[in-house]
Amino acid sequence: MATRMDGMVAGGNRLRWLVWGGAAALLLVPWVAMRFTREVQWTALDFAVMGGMLAIACGLYELATRISRSTRYRAAAGAAVLTGFLLLWVNLAVGVIGSEHNPVNRAYLVLLAGLVLAALVVRARARAMAGVMVGAATLQAAIAGVAWFAGWGNGLGPTVLFAALWLVCAALFLRAGTESA
């Protein structure tokens, strides 16, 4: 598929095989590692959860590629899906604040569910999605702030990282929104 002068991709999603193949390769990493070391011990449930997370992330990216042919929009959507995936993965694996067993980490699951709902409400329009991403960064910081103030733990490092990633997504969506205007 060729990229046209206006930044649109002529035809379908040329990254489809890379996205799905990368997800499959990522799922194979712990399986291969388990063959060589006892330090990696995944259960069938671990593989099922990670497989489900990868399938949902890849499916969301596929949906985004059907919403817009704009390479800028696709980059913004890909970055948002990747950020959400990483937030969920970190949260389930080790926790954003304290350990994965810290109940305050459930607020990040609510944040992710809220992002999906907000994307539906704004019909995933680029400029509106920029606002949704700013909201995600704000909520990310608010959750960590409340947790710290209440004495439930300190998640400053991950919070700064994820808030910055949400803001990068906002900038990408804003740029995609000016392209289609």
The tens digit of pLDDT for each residue in 45-96 reads 999 999 999 999 999 999 988 999 899 999 999 999 999 999 999 999 999 9
pLDDT top residue among 181 and 109 = 109
pLDDT for res 34: 96
Closest CA to 67 of 127, 135, 130, 126: 126
Residue 132 and residue 139 in contact, taking contact as beta carbons nearer than 8 Å: no
- Give the domain ranges of the chain: 14-67, 70-181
3-state secondary structure 42-106: CCHHHHHHHHHHHHHHHHHHHHHHHHCCEHHHHHHHHHHHHHHHHHHHHHHHCCCCCCCCCHHHH
- To the nearest 5 percent, what fractions of the chain are helix, strand and coil? 75, 0, 25
Q: What is the pTM of this model?
A: 0.88
Q: What is the pLDDT of residue 180?
A: 55
What integer pLDDT is reported at residue 14 of this predicted model?
79
pLDDT tens, 110-156?
999 999 999 999 999 999 999 999 999 999 999 999 999 999 999 99
pLDDT at 177: 93
What would the two tokens of residue 180 be?
A: 């289609």
Distance CA 101, CA 124 (A): 33
Q: Which helix (H) or strand (E) holds 181?
A: none
